[in-house]
A and B are shown apart, each in its own frame.
Chain A
């Protein structure tokens, strides 16, 4: 039974998502964004028209694919405003895999590892194992309400710093990222950025910072399930490559091998075995789609800020709702004093509204540090319209009143 939605079919005005059921309201883009039709078409085109192996064949399909992959790498660097001369782009399974891949192959040249209290388990846990492997101390620094890392220069001297650029709890941005990278580089430290949430929100802080490596997932930026690492070539060349296989070497002897050394192809050092080529092609399409996105004459950022503001203001008016966010954000978490978050999520689900409930893999911060009960998270995507947000708010109010 979906009373509020069936009374009035929602206009899915974002035309690239017309395949969606008219009653569906998807509000879990922080976990995985929906795919615009263009992305789906691009992947289908690869499978239909040039399904082949990249980087190793001479026939037309493979050549076309190689061109597409190179084009995607360029687009990714362009998207974050980084030069190909300094950074390599490499494809992996997902963000978590990429972070583990780099951390597990770093040389023991650092004196500590630093992360923050609001990190996702994909950062929080690998920093634990990396500290153990490198036999260095691990420090958890606090992030302020505005998202900046609270530190002094001694804290981060010679450190490996792993932080998210945008929280998956409340959308807080790491606004002092540039300052952090500048400071840590003076003491030969490095900054690794988890941009899983930030990448689709056109973060200026990423473009302005001199990060050493950045990780994100295609599935959080309207693309296929695919991981991407943007890494400084100097850092990449210094990794102690331990995960190795096809597509990564120039030559192999009986007991030795020589890794690819061509600066333009250095990214291959982290691309173990055959890659998700359809995913790369789809990611290329999603980058193009995201760059050109406009709805009702406004950009993606403006559109999302508008919806986030409506959401924040309306939910702030509900007295029994406790919002974790300090300010509007496309990612907003809350809990109700009247109804458990999981139950609330299920109630919303019965009304065709999809939200996330729980601790969003941030157990340390939410459960153990802040002692929050399980939360409900609403994360907006570019598929969402103002009408959808209004239906969500209306339904939520009705449920809160009725329980």
Chain B
């Protein structure tokens, strides 16, 4: 184990200095037990140990004796941690490639991935597992997750066709134009990264070049009392679905897109983003009142608003949301939103303007 530890250390140091490369080579031979000894020579392991202990033998004899006794154990711990770290790095790299996040269980904890709201798998992390005495379960989940990730690799190279995932109730931001291809986004109205993507889309006039539509997906979270990550995303999603049943006879954007626009970029009289207020301040009643107020602004009469309110709580809407949820979770299998598909590619993040302009 000492030789493996030495190899790891010298191999890393060897990246920066040639003098360590020969030591790394020696350590590697030691690992393979292929070190050839001259009869007068000492083996690499003993030599390296002695050089280390020699630094302390005069000045810190107790430390030297401690190292002499425990260096094998320390080397083992070092190797285990190094191998673990390597596996984590490889796994994270694979996740980054496949999912655009290094941690699929908690996508937002990975700063390397693009911005997005994670769809938490609900699987406990390592320390939580240790606390709950479920380390084996954690390890098993890790292996299963890795297996799942590997099966997802082909998706990274797949040609994604948005038309295959459009919901029956879909609407387009701008009037449909058959000469343009379809772009599909998956959004949660309360997700700030979905708002960011919406801003990028507007900034780049993306919707002028594509038939932009969406799937609404309130991110579920079993730990929350309402079963969703954000307090009112289900409510907003229900109204988005409901208003689609009552289209306005005008040439402006469909009502659901207008609600989204207010959610993503609108500010209240206090100049605070509506999305922030929905997520942090409004009660369910206040949130619904705001949506109803928006509907009035958009042009719905009181009678229509009552109908929309009833429809938002109907089985029809619930069914539609459920169908979209099924598409997102079982067919697209995204773990982070916003997800957007266009030109055969799929992005699981708030894509920047540079990508949207192309």
Contact = CB atoms under 8 A, between A and B. Distances in A.
B40 A347 contact: no
A3 B59 contact: yes
Interface of B: 39-42, 46-47, 49-51, 53-59, 61, 64-65, 68
18 contacts: A1-B56, A1-B59, A343-B46, A343-B49, A343-B50, A343-B53, A346-B51, A347-B50, A351-B58, A358-B40, A358-B42, A359-B39, A359-B40, A367-B39, A374-B40, A395-B58, A401-B61, A403-B64
Interface string A307-347: 00000000000000000000000000000000010110011
B55 A350 contact: yes
B70 to A, nearest CB: 15
Nearest to B43: A342
| Most A C-beta atoms less than 10 A away, residue of B40, B51, B56, B57 | B57
Contacts of A403: 57, 61, 64-65, 68
B57 A358 contact: no
A378 B274 CA distance: 85
Contacts of A361: 40
Given A350-B51, A402-B58, 8 more contacts: A4-B58, A343-B50, A346-B42, A350-B57, A359-B39, A359-B40, A402-B64, A403-B65
A4 B40 CA distance: 28
Interface string A345-371: 011011100000111110100010000
A1 B61 CA distance: 13
A204 interface: no
B39 A363 contact: yes
B58 A399 contact: yes
A398 interface: yes
Contacts of A358: 39-42
B54 A360 contact: no
A342 B54 contact: no
A1 B55 contact: yes
A146 to B, nearest CB: 27
Given A342-B42, A350-B55, A402 B61 contact: yes
B40 A402 contact: no
A397 B57 CA distance: 12
Contacts of A3: 58-59
Interface residues of A, number: 25
Nearest to A360: B40
B57 A347 contact: yes
B336 to A, nearest CB: 52
A367 B39 CA distance: 10
Nearest to A361: B40
Given A340-B46, A359-B39, A361-B40, A349 B58 contact: no
Contacts of B58: 1, 3-4, 350-351, 395, 398-399, 402
A374 B56 CA distance: 23
A66 to B, nearest CB: 40
A342 B47 contact: yes
Contacts of A351: 54, 58
A349 B59 contact: no
Contacts of B50: 342-343, 346-347
Contacts of B64: 402-403
B81 to A, nearest CB: 27
A154 B265 CA distance: 114
- Output the residue of B49, B50, B56 with the most chain A CB within 10 A: B50
Which 4 residue pairs are nearest across A and B when measured between Cβ atoms? A350-B54, A358-B40, A402-B61, A346-B50
B61 A342 contact: no
Contacts of B61: 401-403
Contacts of A4: 58
Nearest to A5: B58
Nearest to B49: A343
A342 B49 CA distance: 11
B54 A346 contact: yes
Interface in A389-403: 395, 398-399, 401-403
Contacts of B39: 358-359, 363, 367
A347 B42 contact: no
A160 B323 CA distance: 102
A346 B41 contact: no
Contacts of A374: 40, 42
Contacts of A359: 39-40
A357 B59 contact: no
B60 to A, nearest CB: 9
Contacts of B57: 347, 350, 399, 402-403
